[in-house]
Amino acid sequence: MKKLSFHYNRILIPFCCLFFVIESPAEQQNVEAPKPTSKPLHKPAGKGSIRVLIVDGFNNHHWQQTTRLTTTILESSGLFTVDVSTAPSTTVSSDWPSWQPAFAKYDVVIQSCNSYGNRPTWPAAIQRDLESYVANGGGLYILHSANNAFPEWPDYNLMIGLGWRDKTFGHAITVDDDGTVKRIPPGEGGDTGHGKRINALMTRASDHPIHQGLPKQWLAADLEIYRYARGPAKNLTVLSYAEEPETGLNFPIEWTVNYGKGKVYNSTFGHVWKGDTNPPGMRCLAFQTLMIRSLQWLSGNEVSWPIPDKFPTKEAISLK
């Protein structure tokens, strides 16, 4: 793994084909994605060499261990080269002018920063760089609490579709047992929240390439189910959902968003808390399989990573 300036070394440690695409009414479309340029910045990597950049540096979760574990999962597959760009951890750091992540060099960016709790936000120039990168065909993977970040950044909200926001912020989404997707208007329902992590029964909502070959249902280990994740929810496809115990409602677990020419994958997978070494949620074979397959899809490559024989069932989790 390559060391970048102001970055640091890391230890190598998807029935029928149904796509639920959600678009906001016209009155919600008050912010547009940057228009792609005539010359895309992003070019898919060749087979066996998908270039991934993890962006970390601040989070209310254990971001250092999250990066280490994520790097191990990806590099162990043999499909990825992984670099890390670490943002300054405080708003007053003198390193901000020197932090210049080179998004355009990579096939996929994994965003792991979380500004929740008065943590920093990215400089405007870096925000515009990420918008341009995705709008011109780049892939963006939102890792767990990174969907809590940057509520004041309009295009970040467009890119992630749904995030950790209060009830007045935007639409929430629920999924009926028959697969019908419903929008909950701003002000109805509750703020975004979650209960205790559980072994959650996941239901596949589509035959998206990431999910082709997966069982209809399986148990995901040690998962946070976000109730009332909110946002613009434009150009959004629900991939999977689970029942949230407190409300009894089905909320999305995984979803994708189209932004310009680019693609975004968002989910609640990947929880690593302070003091965790290798928590069950990261060892979950479903999570690891889906992460690899989603990164293949985001990079513009064929989704070829196999569904393992020990993939969890609806009766039992499977840890690696």
Q: So what's the pLDDT on residue 92?
A: 95
Residues contacting 17, CB < 8 A, separation 6+: 206, 207
Q: How far apart are CA 312 and CA 142, in angstroms?
A: 23
**pLDDT exceeds 70 at position 16:** no
**pLDDT exceeds 50 at position 41:** no
Strands 139-142 and 262-267: what pairing?
A: parallel
* Nearest by Cα to 218 from 155, 293, 308: 308
C-beta of residue 305 within 8 angstroms of C-beta of residue 289: yes
First and final C-alpha spacing in the chain: 23
C-beta of residue 85 within 8 angstroms of C-beta of residue 53: yes
Strands 198-204 and 236-244: what pairing?
A: antiparallel
Q: So what's the pLDDT on residue 44?
A: 47
Rg of the chain on CA atoms, in Å: 18
- Model confidence band, residue 27 (pLDDT cutoffs 50, 70, 90): very low
Q: How far apart are CA 216 and CA 16, in angstroms?
A: 11
DSSP 44: P
- Model confidence band, residue 48 (pLDDT cutoffs 50, 70, 90): low
Q: So what's the pLDDT on residue 39?
A: 39
Q: What angle do CA 105, 82, 150 make, to 5 degrees?
A: 70
Q: So what's the pLDDT on residue 206?
A: 87
Q: What is the pLDDT of residues 255-295, one digit of tens each?
A: 999 999 999 999 999 999 999 999 999 999 999 999 999 99
Domain 20-298 fold: Rossmann fold (3.40.50)
- Model confidence band, residue 298 (pLDDT cutoffs 50, 70, 90): very high
The share of the chain scoring above pLDDT 70, in percent, equals 85
Going from N- to C-terminal start, the domains of the chain cover 20-298
Q: So what's the pLDDT on residue 34?
A: 53
DSSP 235: S
Q: So what's the pLDDT on residue 315?
A: 98
**pLDDT exceeds 50 at position 302:** yes
Of residues 48 and 95, more confidence is placed in: 95
Q: What is the pLDDT of residues 161-190, one digit of tens each?
A: 999 999 999 999 999 999 999 999 999 999
Mean pLDDT of the chain: 89
Q: How far apart are CA 130 and CA 53, in angstroms?
A: 12
Q: How far apart are CA 7 and CA 2, in angstroms?
A: 9
Q: How far apart are CA 123 and CA 129, in angstroms?
A: 10
DSSP symbols for 60-83: SS-HHHHHHHHHHHHHHHTSEEEE
Q: How far apart are CA 10 and CA 56, in angstroms?
A: 12
Q: Where are the alpha helices (DSSP H) in 52-200?
A: 63-77, 124-135, 154-160
Q: List strand residue ranges (DSSP E) for the chain, in order.
A: 20-22, 50-56, 80-86, 108-111, 139-142, 172-175, 181-184, 198-204, 217-223, 236-244, 249-259, 262-267
Q: What is the pLDDT of residues 110-148, one digit of tens each?
A: 999 999 998 999 999 999 999 999 999 999 999 999 999
